[in-house]
């Protein structure tokens, strides 16, 4: 976009000017208006803020749907829940004392209010002195915040539903607020807030209907792809076997094979969930999900579906049921006398016996057995 | 000079106008509007000069107070300069530009100063304020923004109920 080659000032100053004019004209540079909101007498602040959020959100939603706006190019504030909760408490206390927020303090100062200037000075002091109080408050901050975290992904709700919820909340707040309005505002005769609210609701409902799929942002997909590349999503058959044996808390093994009949072998404790039910599978907090299929391809696909829904604790059984048969049910003694291989085999043999498998007695390479008895080739990286 | 100041915009209209400014910022600058970010840039620059290692101890702190920002070429700083210019022009046009004193007692100034300082710390912890986090992040449906909005406003309502400033009667 040509806009990116413009000098910074070419976009920053006009947008700042417009921001300043709107805040000033809305009355938000006057601490009495903000104090009025905080005492519940005057709902200007809530109406302006919700109005702006809903307008920009709907514009963004429809602009992206129509292809006019590329949402991936817009920087999203990071998420660090602990720090943001404590920060909000401190901020809210300061906001109540000053009856101005940082932006409106600048508006107040610019319109010649001395309390605005004092709030701006305090704001600068507080920011510069943050390192001094950091030992007391910084403990809640995560070393690295979550970038690009958004409600639809985090709640596992479609984007359209979140847009509709926020719009309904904004319109309801505005309807209640309008009954209690008290500041003298200039209202042209043709201006009907009710019409604006009806338009916003219509746009939100229409967006929710057109956007019925869960939203997955490109950044999120890139992060998921990184997990797949690092194989952070895998669990080895022996590890899973140990988890099952020790009755690990929250472990839930899911068999995604199609058309599994009653007598077919399943990993003990596994529940059958066909692939098409995975997107709707209820997952409780703290559950460790392990998915498997015959080779692993369907399990890996189920993993992507869960991960895209925001389920972060799912894993895929390496090499699927084939890997389980090879590694847990019929482990083969190693051909070399190497210590770690021997230890590993003893561990596998114990698990095999526990799971009712049959550990081989001799290394495969030394067995002059007919071809049909030879173990099938180990499958690797099937997902 | 005795002319009554121009009346304020209807809040629904003002909200829509602010939303359009925000949307324009998303589209032309690829980011939302803000305020506390400019304070962070300016404070970071000041710390560079007076206490260069102040934020070095914790990466989470260094991430919140940037070091070595060229203020004259920084988007959020210039946007805040624009905000001040726009607000001053608008207040002058509306007959609300105040000159001289007479609008704030010492107690009021102290409250504003202390409130500003608390907001300074809170905004750094939270990665933003009512503009950059609540408004911009709220419209982008950022999870952190929707944590911040109810807690910040809830606390503000509570503190106001406990310690209301009598100097701020209704306009």
The DSSP code sequence of B11-45 is HHHHHHHHHHHHHHHHHHHSS---SHHHHHHHHHH
Residue A295: its pLDDT value, please?
Answer: 81
Residue of A223 and A61 predicted with greater confidence: A61
Q: Angle A184-A100-A162 (CA atoms, 0-180°, nearest 5)?
A: 85
Q: Angle A78-A144-A157 (CA atoms, 0-180°, nearest 5)?
A: 45
Residue A349: its pLDDT value, please?
Answer: 85
Which residues are bridge partners to A290 per DSSP?
Answer: A253, A315
Per-residue CA distances from A313 to A304, A306, A329, B106 (Å):
12, 9, 26, 56
Mean of pLDDT values over A15-34: 94
| Whole-angstrom distance, CA of residue A256 vs CA of residue A323 | 15
Nearest-by-Cβ selection for A103 from B24, B89, B131: B131
Q: In angstroms, how far is the first alpha carbon of chain B from the final one?
A: 19
Nearest-by-Cβ selection for A118 from B55, B112, B129: B112
Q: Which residues in chain B are contacts of A60 at CB distance < 8 A? A: 23, 26, 139-140
Q: Which residues in chain B are contacts of A53 at CB distance < 8 A? A: 19, 135, 138-139
A312: contact with B, CB 8 A cutoff: no
pLDDT tier at A363 (50, 70, 90 boundaries)? Answer: low
pTM: 0.69
pLDDT tier at B1 (50, 70, 90 boundaries)? Answer: very low
Nearest-by-Cβ selection for B55 from A48, A131, A145: A131
pLDDT tier at A371 (50, 70, 90 boundaries)? Answer: very low
The residues in A 30-69 lying below 8 A from B, measured between CB atoms, are 30-33, 35-36, 38-44, 47-57, 59-60, 63, 69
pLDDT tier at B99 (50, 70, 90 boundaries)? Answer: low
Q: Mean pLDDT, chain A, as a whole number?
A: 85
Please give the structure tokens belonging to residue A262.
């009653």
B115: contact with A, CB 8 A cutoff: yes
From the centroid of its chain, how far is CA A54? 21
Strand order across the beta sheet in which A271-272 lies? A234-235, A314-317, A288-292, A251-255, A271-272
CB neighbours of A245 closer than 8 A, spacing ≥ 6?
A: A351, A354, A355
Nearest-by-Cβ selection for A111 from B64, B76, B96: B96
ipTM of predicted assembly, 2 dp = 0.95
Dihedral in degrees, nearest 10, Cα atoms A357, A360, A365, A367: -120
Nearest to B88 by CA among A116, A36, A10, A47: A116
pLDDT tier at A35 (50, 70, 90 boundaries)? Answer: very high
| Whole-angstrom distance, CA of residue B10 vs CA of residue A47 | 9
Residue A337: its pLDDT value, please?
Answer: 74
- Nearest residue in chain B measured CA to CA from A145: B60
Please say if the pLDDT value at position A199 is more than 80. yes
Q: Which of A62-66, A330-334, B42-46 has the lowest mean pLDDT?
A: A330-334
The residues in A 142-181 lying below 8 A from B, measured between CB atoms, are 142-146, 149-152, 154, 159, 162-163, 166, 174, 177, 181
Class of residue A178 by CB neighbours under 10 A (exposed 0-12, middle 13-18, buried 19+): middle
Please say if the pLDDT value at position A372 is more than 50. no
Residue A296: its pLDDT value, please?
Answer: 80
Mean of pLDDT values over A165-186: 82
- Tens-digit pLDDT profile for residues B5-31: 778 888 999 999 999 999 999 999 999
Rounded to the nearest 5°, which phi and psi values hold at A146? -85, 120
């Amino acid at each position: 976009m040509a806009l990116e080659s413009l000098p910074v000032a070419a976009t920053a100053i006009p947008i700042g000017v417009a921001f300043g004019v709107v805040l000033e004209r809305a009355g938000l540079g006057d601490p009495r208006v903000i104090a009025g909101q905080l005492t519940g007498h005057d709902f200007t602040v809530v109406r302006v803020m919700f109005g702006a959020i809903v307008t920009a959100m709907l514009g963004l939603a429809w602009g992206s749907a129509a292809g006019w706006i590329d949402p991936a190019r817009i920087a999203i504030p990071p998420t660090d829940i602990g720090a943001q909760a404590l920060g909000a408490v401190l901020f809210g206390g300061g906001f109540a004392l000053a009856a101005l927020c940082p932006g409106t303090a600048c508006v107040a100062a610019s319109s010649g209010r001395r309390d605005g200037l004092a709030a701006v000075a305090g704001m600068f002091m507080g920011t510069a002195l943050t390192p001094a109080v950091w030992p007391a408050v910084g403990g809640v901050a995560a070393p690295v915040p979550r970038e690009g975290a958004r409600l639809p992904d985090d709640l596992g709700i479609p984007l359209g539903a979140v847009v509709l919820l926020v719009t309904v909340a904004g319109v309801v707040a505005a309807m209640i607020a309008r009954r209690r309005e008290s500041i003298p505002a200039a209202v042209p005769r043709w201006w009907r807030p009710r019409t604006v609210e009806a338009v916003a609701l219509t746009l939100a409902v229409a967006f929710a209907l057109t956007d019925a799929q869960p939203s997955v942002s490109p950044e999120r997909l890139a992060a998921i792809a990184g997990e797949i590349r690092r194989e952070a999503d895998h669990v080895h058959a022996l590890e899973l076997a140990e988890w099952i044996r020790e009755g690990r808390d929250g472990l839930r093994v899911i068999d995604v094979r199609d058309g599994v009949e009653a007598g077919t072998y399943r990993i003990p404790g596994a529940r059958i969930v066909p692939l098409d039910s995975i997107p709707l599978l209820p997952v409780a907090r703290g559950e460790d999900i392990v998915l498997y299929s015959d080779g692993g391809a369907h399990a890996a696909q189920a993993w992507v579906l869960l991960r895209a829904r925001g389920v972060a604790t799912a894993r895929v059984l390496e090499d699927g049921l084939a890997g389980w048969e090879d590694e847990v049910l019929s482990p083969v003694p190693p051909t070399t006398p190497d210590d770690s291989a021997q230890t590993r085999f003893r561990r596998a043999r114990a698990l095999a016996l526990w799971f009712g498998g049959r550990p081989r007695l001799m290394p495969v390479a030394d067995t002059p057995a007919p071809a049909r008895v030879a173990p099938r080739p180990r499958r690797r990286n099937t997902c | 000079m005795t002319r009554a100041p121009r009346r304020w915009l209807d809040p629904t209209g003002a909200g829509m106008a602010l939303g359009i400014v925000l949307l324009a910022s998303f589209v032309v600058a690829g980011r939302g509007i803000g305020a506390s970010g400019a304070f962070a840039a300016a404070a970071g620059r000041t710390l560079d000069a007076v206490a260069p290692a102040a934020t070095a101890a914790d990466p989470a702190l260094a991430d919140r107070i940037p070091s070595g920002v060229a203020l004259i070429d920084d988007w959020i700083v210039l946007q805040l300069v624009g905000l001040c210019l726009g607000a001053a022009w608008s207040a002058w046009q509306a007959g609300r530009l105040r000159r001289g004193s007479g609008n704030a007692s010492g107690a009021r100034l102290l409250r504003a100063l202390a409130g500003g300082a608390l907001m300074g710390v809170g905004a750094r912890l939270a990665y933003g304020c009512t503009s950059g986090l609540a408004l911009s992040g709220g419209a982008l449906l950022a999870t952190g923004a929707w944590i911040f909005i109810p807690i910040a406003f809830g606390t503000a309502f509570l503190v106001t109920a406990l310690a209301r400033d009598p100097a701020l009667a209704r306009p």
